[in-house]
Amino acid sequence: MRETALVFGEGLNGIVTGGDSKRAPVILTHGAGQGMQSPLLAKTASRLGELGFVSLRFNFAYIDKKSAPSAGGKREQPDLVSAIEYMKQFGNPILVGKSFGARVCADVALRRHDIEGLVFYGMPLQGASPTAKPRDWSHLACIKPPVLFITGDKDKLCPLDRLAVVLATMSGDVTSEIVAGDHSFKPKSEDAAMLLCTNWIDQLAK
């Protein structure tokens, strides 16, 4: 599968997988602790390329600066906007976010009308601490594009009972898939999560 490294926006590093395509482009955003070389994102990009999609995965600026992500992903939102503007040469994009990246994708999508769909790999509905309070996710009810949640059944950042409460507030085209595993779909469900994501995108973009 053809991969091309590039620099776009304000010095953001990314990798484009696949070539020219008439299908919707896909943008992949990483979790707080891993960059664009995350195995899950690399596998997702490769599979999307096999299905005829062109995708961009990239590092939020803090990764290459070796610093920490911002609270709630506010500083990372312009990075995603830059990625969207770059990929719009191929059409309106589908956004895929892993954990922290899912938060950023959701917030950016709320303010745009050119997002074709959203996939949330392990949406972090609460922090990792046992005493962490649930975050306010009422804004998800305002998301217009189709959405797919993929969640591990033992994900401590996205407890299934809390996810059910959030899903009940959303009235649009929303799908939820549960796989065995933790927040990163470990130990054995990373590939299953990837296939759920790419098959959903394949059907969405028919």
CATH number for the domain including 60? 3.40.50.1820
Whole-angstrom Cα Rg for the chain: 16
- Residue 43 burial (CB count, 10 A): 17
Mean pLDDT rounded to a whole number for the chain:
95
- Residue 69, preceding bond cis, omega within 30 degrees? no
Number of domains forming the structure of the chain: 1
pLDDT for 21 equals 74
pLDDT for 28 equals 98
Residue 170 to residue 183: CA distance in whole angstroms: 22
Reply yes or no on whether the pLDDT at 165 is more than 90. yes
Matching residue, tokens 């911002």: 70
Model pLDDT for residues 51-102, shown as the tens digit of each residue = 999 999 999 999 999 999 998 899 999 999 999 999 999 999 999 999 999 9
Model pLDDT for residues 9-52, shown as the tens digit of each residue = 999 999 999 977 788 999 999 999 999 999 999 999 999 999 99
pLDDT for 125 equals 94
pLDDT for 206 equals 85
Residue 74 to residue 202: CA distance in whole angstroms: 30
pLDDT for 128 equals 80
pLDDT for 104 equals 98
- Residue 45's domain comprises 3-204
CB 48 within 8 A of CB 55: yes
- Residue 15 burial (CB count, 10 A): 19
Model pLDDT for residues 120-148, shown as the tens digit of each residue = 999 999 988 777 777 889 999 999 999 99
pLDDT for 4 equals 96
Nearest-5° Cα angle at 60, 176 to 79: 90
Tell me the pLDDT band of 158, cut-offs 50, 70 and 90.
Answer: very high
Give the DSSP letter string of 119-172: EEES---B-SSTTPPBP--GGGGG--S-EEEEEETT-TTS-HHHHHHHHHT--S
CB 84 within 8 A of CB 58: no
Angstrom distances, CA of residue 78 to CA of 7, 15, 59, 74: 15, 18, 12, 8
